[in-house]
Structure 1
Amino acid sequence: MTDISTNKVDWRALWATGDLARFCFVSLGILLHATNETMVATVMPAMVGELAGVQLVGWSLAIYELGAIVAGAAAGRLVSYVALRSNMMAAALLYGVGALVCATAPSMELFLAGRLIEGLGGGALVSLAYVSVERLFPRSIWPQLFGIMSAIWGVAAFSGPMLGAILTELLSWRWAFGIFTLGGAVMALASFIVLNTPEATRPKATSGKAPPFPFAALGCLAISVVLIASAGVDIALLRSSLLMVVGLIGLFLFFRIDALKPLSRLFPSRLFSWRSPVGAGMTMVAAFSVATCSFGVYGPLLLTSLHGIPILTTGYIIAAESIAWSILSILVANAPPQRERLIIVAGAMMITAGIAGFAYTVPLGSIPLILLCALLQGGGFGIAWPFLTRVIVASAPNSEQTIASAAVPTMQRIGYAVGAALAGIIANASGFSEGLNREAAANVASLLFLAFVPLGVVGCLAALRMSARANRPMPAASHL
């Protein structure tokens, strides 16, 4: 299927065996998850107008990602003793049920409950897609497959804002969620039909018994994210500071507990150690996932409230970011291995430039400049992520490569949840907790992005460190 000398994939052979079709189908779980994830931003102004609760806007993403984290971790464990097909069907049905709850919610609180259920289903679908690549395909074509997955993510992220904006304008924001109810049911049925290979219908366990489920670690993580998110609701100096500090301590304990439980570990060893490509790469994933949440969560609200920019226009801007992600991801997928370092570092710098640029362009209200920042951010992810994922998984010990493949999207989910919670704190502290109006939006617009620039710098440094170690020649006597 792969020409080793040219690092090119024989797509015809993959199609003839049916593996390519199965890969594309499995990746559709990313389509459902990412479309829903990005759609919320464009329906948020209309939804807040009907349900109220602007102070809970940050929770709409944080609670979704929290569910995705728990389910993603569970899926990574369950595939060891429950068939991939069964996992996929259950995840799709759960996703559809959550979408139905969101579509019919009479209040923001019930809507958030639906988002939690949706996150459980969507997170499992994403994790299963990444694990499928590691288990079903040879390592030599991982960059190409991860590149396709990035492209699918970009297409989904493009369709989400557009779908939300169009349905909100023509019908109602509730119809936007109703479509995903049908999508979940259809994917559950299709999973039963399409995933019919032995690898998909039989579990692949490394031992005779199921690995333990990380209840303690995930419980600690859930409490931590909820505490951080709660710090941004009804801002009070002592209360909010205490909740934030305790939440951050909880995150530290989560990673510590995970490291001490090798049989139920969610992340590879030496997770944040910059002495290995895995540690530096996971640091890069975490930093950029936290730092890039602000525009997706609050961008449409700010642009609509501050400059009167229509929802459909904000949908186009977010869609353009996703298009850049998809196109550049495809363009660099076949780049030679010796170019990986340059590509990863260039992507990190583009992302950081986009984050910093939003701090100037969003208050200014210049649509061309805002679009440029969106293209930088999306394009940076597009060129860096396929190679970043390959380096992390390939650099992990053989016994941890399945864990590493599921850890990348899990770390993204953690970053998004924490980033959304922190963005909510900044936005509410700057005036959003008192109501959605132009004055509050003006106070929020610049600070909301500047606060995350230092994390962008951390991501760039991690990219430099990871790519340097990933390209360091191995000693002649070493063996894999």
Structure 2
Amino acid sequence: MSIPNAQADRHPASSPGMGWGALLSGTNGVRSLALAGGVVLHAINIYIATTILPSVVQDIGGLDLYAWNTTVFVVASILGSALSAKLLQVAGPRGAYATGAVIFALGALICAVSPSMPVMLFGRLIQGLGGGFLFALAYAMIRVVFEPTLWPRAMALVSGMWGVATLVGPAVGGIFAELGIWRAAFWSLAPAALLFALLAAAVLPGRDAEPGRKSSIPFPQILLLVAAVLAISAGSTSPDLLRNVAGIVAAGLLSALLVLVERRAGKKLLPHGSLTPGTSIAALYATMCLLAVTVTSGEIFVPLFLQVLHQQPPLMAGYLAALMAAGWTIGSVTSSGVGGRSVGRMILAAPILQVTGMLVLAILAPRAGSGSWVELAPICVALVAIGLGVGLAWPHLLTGVLKAARPSEQELAGASITTVQLFATAIGAALAGMVVNAGGLIEPGGVAGTANAALWLFGAFALPPAIGLFTARRAARL
């Protein structure tokens, strides 16, 4: 991938010993622990929530708001991500991480006592704000605390924490769901978040290394970003086609206004050239979004489909759905050390694997069955392939953004990574909710409605990675 290295004058192009040992030992090891811990907390919560949501809906209702659990969480995470630079400036690394953890814990407690879905959504809003802080701080500090030669592995480590989440999240959510005490899953998150706050206080510096640097917040762009997501989400709660179209049109208009405001604004949301078609950085962001949208669409509803259509208990459904994240982790770790032309191959492989996986799911997932392993094995392979694709490309896409940004916009580039990823996740969740509701999840509902919804979901979301075939070629500079 031929991307100009904006920091080549700051560090040597290559250094001996810049492997996993250099990242995970000594001072770098302590830094890695601090950065990875917040992402683990954020990611585990996502898999707990997706695993227990079918049980939550059975208890307190709100099937029409099913996808909103993810949408609200991610929208709030966007706000937390955008505000993280200011929080870091005011409170320093130690205070910023501790603040994010405490807010996250408060949201978990609200979810634990929710008597209805609207209250649950409020708790998810608070959780998302704290999670956004933790998530953004991890990526933003990679370029500060590590040499560029360690960036791909640091990116892979942070991304790989989703693999840890696939082991812990579905287990916690699934066990509590099967025991009929789903609220205990949220109760367990609060002390975990507070323990992480103590860890951050122990290992991170009290103040920013560059206290004189001021960060600005592009509030108009952030508000338009959030409004666009909420417009689609509002349309997704109904199977009415007219309401769906109205939501998409409103989101399109708000997105166009966002582009106009961003181009004229003094305070930028994204680095220079990010919204200009044809630039390398625009291709990198576009590829990131298309890959992330595809993964999100599957992660939200796969547990529900597996339980209703393939007779899987909550614990097993949660673990099978987490195979996408496991594939993401395997791909990230495998590809993080490659260089040269292999980088381009990794990026181009991502949309190919995702298109293949989604088409296989569109054929097999809607077929209701007994849940035998003969039936589930190809579904599992497809789930792994979808995650593996994004994992192979992800460290190089993120590193490419940092290198393609202007030297004066390096901090902005670091913060923008999480903003773009979370925006894509929120859009994916909202569109997935719209597709399954229109496909029959609510009306007629039941096994037949769920099967039709699965067909429409996986068929429709094979389109984003298909488009990604073109943006990936530009991102990889093939």
Calculate the TM-score normalised by the size of structure 2: 0.91
Question: Which residue of structure 1 aligns with residue 365 of structure 2?
Answer: 362
Question: Which residue of structure 2 aligns with residue 275 of structure 1?
Answer: 278
Question: Which residue of structure 1 aligns with residue 247 of structure 2?
Answer: 243
Distance apart, 1:376 and its partner CA: 0.2
CA offsets 1:360-383 (integer angstroms, 9 cap, x no match): 121135311110111101111221
Counterparts of 2:157 and 2:238 in 1: how far apart (Å)?
Answer: 43
2:51–2:303 contact (8 Å) kept in structure 1: yes
1:305–1:436 contact (8 Å) kept in structure 2: no
Equivalent of 2:457 in 440, 448, 453 = 448
Question: Does 1:107 find its partner at 2:116?
Answer: yes
SS in 1 for 2:67: helix
Question: Does 1:437 find its partner at 2:441?
Answer: no
Matches within 5 A, 1:23-422: 23-170=32-179, 172-196=181-205, 201-202=207-208, 204=210, 207=213, 210-263=214-267, 265-364=268-367, 366-422=375-431
Q: Identity over aligned residues, as a percent?
A: 29
Counterparts of 2:309 and 2:19 in 1: how far apart (Å)?
Answer: 51
Matches within 5 A, 1:460-475: 460-468=469-477
Aligned pair count? 462
The alpha-carbon distance between structure 1 residues 457 and 16, as it changes in their structure 2 partners (threshold 3 A), is: closer
CA offsets 1:325-346 (integer angstroms, 9 cap, x no match): 2223222222133311111111
Calculate the TM-score normalised by the size of structure 1: 0.91
SS in 2 for 1:364: coil
Counterparts of 1:244 and 1:15 in 2: how far apart (Å)?
Answer: 45
Distance apart, 1:267 and its partner CA: 1.1
CA offsets 1:375-402 (integer angstroms, 9 cap, x no match): 1011112211111111111111111122
Counterparts of 1:7 and 1:355 in 2: how far apart (Å)?
Answer: 41
The alpha-carbon distance between structure 1 residues 7 and 351, as it changes in their structure 2 partners (threshold 3 A), is: farther
Counterparts of 1:279 and 1:393 in 2: how far apart (Å)?
Answer: 13
Distance apart, 1:230 and its partner CA: 0.9
Distance apart, 1:5 and its partner CA: 5.3
Question: Which residue of structure 2 aligns with residue 476 of structure 1?
Answer: none
Aligned letter for 1:422?
Answer: L
Counterparts of 1:435 and 1:84 in 2: how far apart (Å)?
Answer: 51
Structure 1 residue runs without a partner (length 5+): 470-480
Distance apart, 1:31 and its partner CA: 0.3
The alpha-carbon distance between structure 1 residues 77 and 7, as it changes in their structure 2 partners (threshold 3 A), is: farther
The alpha-carbon distance between structure 1 residues 409 and 423, as it changes in their structure 2 partners (threshold 3 A), is: same
2:23–2:154 contact (8 Å) kept in structure 1: no
What's the C-alpha RMSD, in Å, of the aligned pairs?
2.2
The alpha-carbon distance between structure 1 residues 60 and 226, as it changes in their structure 2 partners (threshold 3 A), is: same
Distance apart, 1:465 and its partner CA: 0.9
Counterparts of 2:16 and 2:286 in 1: how far apart (Å)?
Answer: 28
CA offsets 1:431-459 (integer angstroms, 9 cap, x no match): 22347511210221111111122211122
2:292–2:390 contact (8 Å) kept in structure 1: no
Counterparts of 2:113 and 2:101 in 1: how far apart (Å)?
Answer: 19
1:95–1:181 contact (8 Å) kept in structure 2: yes
Counterparts of 2:346 and 2:333 in 1: how far apart (Å)?
Answer: 13
Aligned letter for 1:223?
Answer: A
Distance apart, 1:47 and its partner CA: 0.8
